[in-house]
Amino acid sequence: MSPTWALRLLGCVMLLPALRGELDDCAPGWVPTRGGCLGYFPWELSWSRAESFCRRLGARTHLASVHSAAELRELGELLSSSRGSAGSGEDVDDDVWIGLHRPLRSRGWQWSDGTAVAYRSWHRAAVPRRRACAALQDSSDFMTWDGKSCSDRKPFVCKTGS
């Protein structure tokens, strides 16, 4: 293989993420997506502790928000691959926190990063709790979410915004 040919091939490989519109500046272990970078954390924390953990990772980092079916598919793929490799006999039959929540004294759901709630993928009708948090359902391959008690402890996904 000539050096010129190898350089051209390397240039194409480096250009590919930009052509797909992905970020190339995600931290190691994080996955680039159209909406930013996603990081999966298998530790089980309450929703508020998970959000606090994400916030400590950067000013624009929160529990993941989902704004389209394409983003949900990317998130589902990340979780399926991350949790599939977690194997080693431990029980990975858990839902996963995302940034959707209904704060106290609020009638509506909000994303923790402040973005608008325009896309929904409820597993069933939203729970009538005064304060609730949303988790992706492992039973639906992470393609739907359901309202849960915010004090439940679950793994979570952080998203650094673009």
pLDDT of 14-71, one tens digit each?
Answer: 333 433 344 468 989 899 988 789 999 999 999 999 999 999 999 899 999 999 999 9
Task: Kindly list the domain boundaries of the chain, sorted by start residue.
Answer: 23-161
pTM of this prediction? 0.78
Confidence check: pLDDT of 114 > 70:
yes
* CA 122 to mean position of chain CA atoms: 16
* Residues contacting residue 87 through CB under 8 Å, at least 6 positions apart: none
Q: What percent of the chain has pLDDT over 90?
A: 52
Apex CA 33: angle with CA 16 and CA 141, to 5°? 120
Q: May I ask the CATH architecture of the domain 23-161? A: Roll (3.10)
Distance CA 76, CA 143 (A): 6
How many degrees, rounded to 5, is the angle at CA 43 between CA 37 and CA 48? Answer: 75
